[in-house]
Amino acid sequence: MSNNDISIATTSVSPPLIRLTKSLAEQFNLTFSKLDPTHTQLVRTTERLEIHAPDLGNPIYVDFVEGKNAHRRKFGGGRGQPLARAIGLKKMINPIIIDATAGMGRDAFVLASLGCTVILLEKNPLLAALLQDGLNRANQDEDNQAINQRMQLINIDSQHYLSQQKLPQIPDVIYIDPMYPKREKSALVKKDMRLLHQLVGPDEDSEKLLTLARKIALKRVVVKRPSTAEAIANLQPDTSIESKSTRYDIYLKHSFEAK
């Protein structure tokens, strides 16, 4: 599915929201249309921006205030959780991180909630729109404002961004979460992940992204993988940290500088 196959609509008859929706249509080069439950659409409701897809059930949106993100922030294990350990979080050390494949922003939000500055890169404009809407709404919540200030979203291709001669901020860590291999039993895949597969398509550039990231990061590159998957391009990491179904492959700067 390409972005050109997706139109944008609104559930509201409010003139300001209609104008806002038309502005989004222009910004992301989408067709403004009526609600159509038989097609995938980006939908502006009175509360938020959502993606409606006929085969995915309930709408999909980004929410950093409530739901899974809030639960993970409160009960995810803090700096002792596998993601934080893989990134290299230690007492009083808050690295600058580039999340090169931001997606729905969950891991970036966790890292920002733990004190890190996170630059979120997302090339797909529809996902970037959902992320920005989620950040805007979270910024209205007092408990999340400080976290939001540590998150910056850029709608750009990661390889293009990292190829710039002078980045606005040189990252200590670059975090890569490539699209997981497609499972045969799609029912086992969460609906938002199925949507990501539809919007982003197959992972075809993770090797190039990893190679580039290893040249840029000051301290390490961390790649999120399924626990049973091979390392990207069989590039063996210096070390890995595993959780129940996930593995974080860690490439330390000193090791690939010496090669």
Tens of pLDDT, residues 110-120 = 999 999 999 99
Q: Please state the pTM of the whole predicted model.
A: 0.87
Q: Are strands 151-154 and 117-121 parallel, antiparallel or unpaired?
A: parallel
Question: Cα dihedral angle (28, 32, 35, 41), rounded to 10 degrees?
Answer: -20
| Domain span(s) for CATH 3.40.50.150 in the chain | 67-257
Question: For residue 57, what pLDDT band results from cuts at 50, 70 and 90?
Answer: confident
DSSP state of 93: B
Cα 214–113–150 angle (5° rounding)? 65
CB contact at 8 A, 215 and 257? no
**Closest among 217, 239, 240, 206 to 98, alpha carbons compared:** 217
Question: Per residue in 196-213, pLDDT tens?
Answer: 676 666 667 899 999 999
Secondary structure (DSSP) of 208-234: HHHHHHHHH-SSEEEEEEETTSPPGGG
Question: Out of 3.40.50.620, 3.30.390.50, 3.40.50.150, 3.40.50.10860, which CATH number does the structure's domain 67-257 have?
Answer: 3.40.50.150
